[in-house]
Amino acid sequence: MGSVKVTLPDGTSKDFPQGTTAREVAQSIGPGLAKVALAAKVDGNLVDLNAPIESDSAVQVITPSSPEGLVIYRHSSAHLLAAAVLELFPDAHPGIGPPTDTGFFYDFYREKAFTEADLARIEAKMKELAEADIPFERIYFPKEEGLKLFDQMGEFLKCELIQEKAEPVFSAYRTGKFLDFCRGPHIPSTGRIKAFKLLSVAAAHWKGDENSQPMQRIYGTSFFSKKDLDDYLNQLEEAKKRDHRRLGKELDLFSIQDEAGPGLIFWHPKGGIIRKEIEDWLRAELLAHGYDMVFTPHAMRLHLWEISGHANFYRDNMFGPMDVENDRYQLKPMNCPGHILIYKDRRRSYRELPIRMAELGTVYRYERSGVMHGLLRVRGFTQDDAHIFCMMEQLESEVQDCVEFAQLVLKTFGFDRFEVELSARDPEHAEHYAGTVEEWSQAENALMNTLKRMNIPYKYMPGEAVFYGPKIDVKLVDAIGRPWQLTTVQFDFNLPRRFGLEYTAADGKPHTPVMVHRALLGSVERFFGVLIEHYAGAFPVWLSPVQAVVLPISERHTDYARKVAEELRAAGIRVELDDRNEKLNARIRDAQLQRVPFMLVTGDREAQAGGVAVRRRDTGDAGFRPLGEFKSYLRELIDTRTNKW
């Protein structure tokens, strides 16, 4: 038997006998590393610790602190879930069970529905199997032999997956009595899974196809420590309190009407005024940043989307075309072809570039019913879209301006933390992307250089780019620590070429511009949903649909209360008068429930002194204030868009 050279992440190399496992490499480094090792990466490929190393390789041991560690741990947690389900419910047929960003799930076909009581039993069985420290055993099968085995087991869903996805020799993992077709890798044994929780069960469909087999999806989560699990469960409880769907109804902000169809948002008056504030601020800033406001139709000829490539690359996310007068029209899923046509309407000179077009344009995208979620995932939404047409030498400057604009948006609306990702193409699947390797490299370098120059840390995400170019995604972090994808800055050398865009350069010859797609809010609907949850419905004064409510103590104080309301209203303050025949405390409670920032109580003393008794929604009684003084104070909070006061 020969030897192999193993190169470690620090650059050091060591010779091992051929066939040495990753576990043995970890043990050679130290018993502490071997104890916490979960899996390994050999020449960039994730493998089990028992995988043999047959040739000279770069080896990295995966531990809980590795970026891949939690993903592998949760994948193994999903297998533990399936093993527990099959022990308790032999009539269940497992489908797929992947890890997710927040945990894991497993889909099962079973005629009888799982109940909450069943989840408790399953979780208890998972703990029992974890304590038994059962190994995750990898087994290889020739395809036909494996198919025959799974068929004998009655696992028709697994047979379908093996037919579609399995190599001539494929891997499966055994966890106790559970055998799963799976590429892995997995952690060494169930005993390593210490902190987990089953969360819910929901309806699903096989492979996400609404016309296919109905499934039941059991959701769970797992962490390396009980503290991390408890922190996450506490966050979930807080998230329930902040759920924008519940608050949207309680605060009368928006609705989704069954008669109109799913995924279509109706903005109620209170939600509408918040939307107006958001859009008014954004339009003013767009003009200040050198953008031109444009408007484009909601439907255009399908031919445009064939030219752009969306009809090919994006077909599954588009509504079906409409036949109109022997022509075919398409509800727009994007605004970019419309902006391109405006650019193309006349000849352009290099002296005009960059040209920045912005539109709050409503677009329509087909989302499956199972993935729609309140304001966060809809079928019709207004995108704060912009497209910048520029020369290549202007690109980095324009991208920097976009990122700085995004930072201004976050700060203005009260977000002080964000994460940045740079999405690049998958070099192994060039067929999924438009453009040459050289162009992609040039574009990716331009985005990376911009972020480095701005000293903004970012996560590199290969394979996450859109088909027409790389992009920068900015994720804000909300009040309870959840990241939300909103802002995106996307480079595009594809569409200008497809549509034949040109500008006359300094040399007098036609050249093709490059293009930047930019959205700051992402969509007004999604941004509004995030705002609701970030503030738990208690918006800052400048965004609150009702900024103050005037509460006369009794009927005889109503005339003065009405004068107070009229004076505040004349100052541009959104104010309501609540003179219902209810006790004062009940009206105060109602205002609190509606998250009104200020409650202004008026009685004899206030009428005589020309002021109001101020109550804040957060701290309660704030004492007497002369009306003029309070009006100026409130007006300043609004004008300065103060988010904390």
User: Domain coordinates of the chain in residue numbers?
Assistant: 3-62, 70-241, 254-533, 548-639
Q: Which two tokens stand for residue 29?
A: 């480094």
Cβ-based neighbours of 203, under 8 Å, separated by 6 or more: 214, 215, 216, 217, 370
In contact, 451 and 488? CB cutoff 8 Å: no
DSSP letter string, 140-162:
EEEHHHHHHHHHHTT-HHHHHHH
pTM of this prediction?
A: 0.85
Q: What is the reported pLDDT for 339?
A: 97
Cβ-based neighbours of 543, under 8 Å, separated by 6 or more: 274, 277, 278, 531
Task: Quote the CA–CA distance of 396 and 398 in Å, as a whole number.
Answer: 5
Q: What is the reported pLDDT for 208?
A: 78
Q: What percent of the chain has pLDDT over 70?
A: 100
Task: Quote the CA–CA distance of 152 and 179 in Å, as a whole number.
Answer: 12
Q: Which two tokens stand for residue 364?
A: 């329509």
Please state which of the four CATH numbers 3.30.930.10, 3.40.630.30, 3.40.600.10, 3.40.50.2300 is assigned to the domain occupying 254-533: 3.30.930.10
In contact, 125 and 221? CB cutoff 8 Å: no
Q: Is pLDDT above 70 for 447? A: yes
Dihedral sign from CA coordinates of 520, 522, 524, 528: negative
When pLDDT is averaged across residues 495-512 and rounded to a whole number, the result is 94
Please state which of the four CATH numbers 2.40.50.100, 3.40.50.970, 3.30.360.10, 3.10.20.30 is assigned to the domain occupying 3-62: 3.10.20.30
When pLDDT is averaged across residues 311-327 and rounded to a whole number, the result is 84
For domain 548-639, give the fold.
Rossmann fold (3.40.50)
Q: Is pLDDT above 80 for 369? A: no
* Dihedral pair phi/psi, residue 323, rounded to 5°: -90, 120
Q: Which two tokens stand for residue 477?
A: 């972090």
SS3 612: strand
Q: What is the reported pLDDT for 467?
A: 75
pLDDT digits 0-9 by tens, 36-46: 999 999 998 99
Please report which confidence band the pLDDT of residue 367 belongs to, taking 50, 70 and 90 as the band edges: confident
In contact, 84 and 125? CB cutoff 8 Å: yes
When pLDDT is averaged across residues 156-173 and rounded to a whole number, the result is 95
Q: What is the reported pLDDT for 622?
A: 93
What does the buried/exposed string (b/e) look like for 529-551 if buried means 16 or more CB atoms within 10 Å of the residue's CB? bbbbbbbbbbbbbbbbbbbbbbb
Q: What is the reported pLDDT for 353?
A: 96
Q: What is the reported pLDDT for 487?
A: 92
Q: Look over the chain and give the mean of its residue pLDDT values, rounded to a whole number.
A: 93
Which is more confidently placed, 493 or 401?
401
| Residue 333 DSSP code | S
* Dihedral pair phi/psi, residue 478, rounded to 5°: -85, -175
When pLDDT is averaged across residues 467-490 and rounded to a whole number, the result is 90
Please state which of the four CATH numbers 3.30.980.10, 3.20.20.70, 3.10.580.10, 3.40.50.360 is assigned to the domain occupying 70-241: 3.30.980.10
Q: Is pLDDT above 80 for 470? A: yes
Q: What is the reported pLDDT for 308?
A: 87
In contact, 61 and 22? CB cutoff 8 Å: yes
Task: Quote the CA–CA distance of 495 and 33 in Å, as a whole number.
Answer: 50
pLDDT digits 0-9 by tens, 236-285: 999 999 999 999 999 999 999 999 999 999 999 999 999 999 999 999 99
pLDDT digits 0-9 by tens, 337-352: 999 999 999 999 999 9
Cβ-based neighbours of 436, under 8 Å, separated by 6 or more: none
Q: Is pLDDT above 70 for 1? A: no
pLDDT digits 0-9 by tens, 601-644: 999 999 999 999 999 999 999 999 999 999 999 999 999 999 88
Average the pLDDT over each of 123-127, 145-149, 367-371, 473-477 and give the range with the smallest value: 367-371
Task: Quote the CA–CA distance of 179 and 172 in Å, as a whole number.
Answer: 7
Direct distance between the N- and C-terminal alpha carbons of the chain, in angstroms, rounded to an integer: 73
pLDDT digits 0-9 by tens, 179-227: 999 999 999 999 999 999 999 999 998 987 777 889 999 999 999 999 9
Q: What is the reported pLDDT for 5?
A: 92
Query: Which residues are registered as beta bridge partners of 178?
Result: 175
Q: What is the reported pLDDT for 443?
A: 86
pLDDT digits 0-9 by tens, 401-432: 999 999 999 999 999 999 999 998 887 777 77
Q: What percent of the chain has pLDDT over 90?
A: 83
Annotated catalytic residues are: 336, 365, 383, 385, 387, 471, 517
- Amino acid letter at 451? L
In contact, 376 and 526? CB cutoff 8 Å: yes
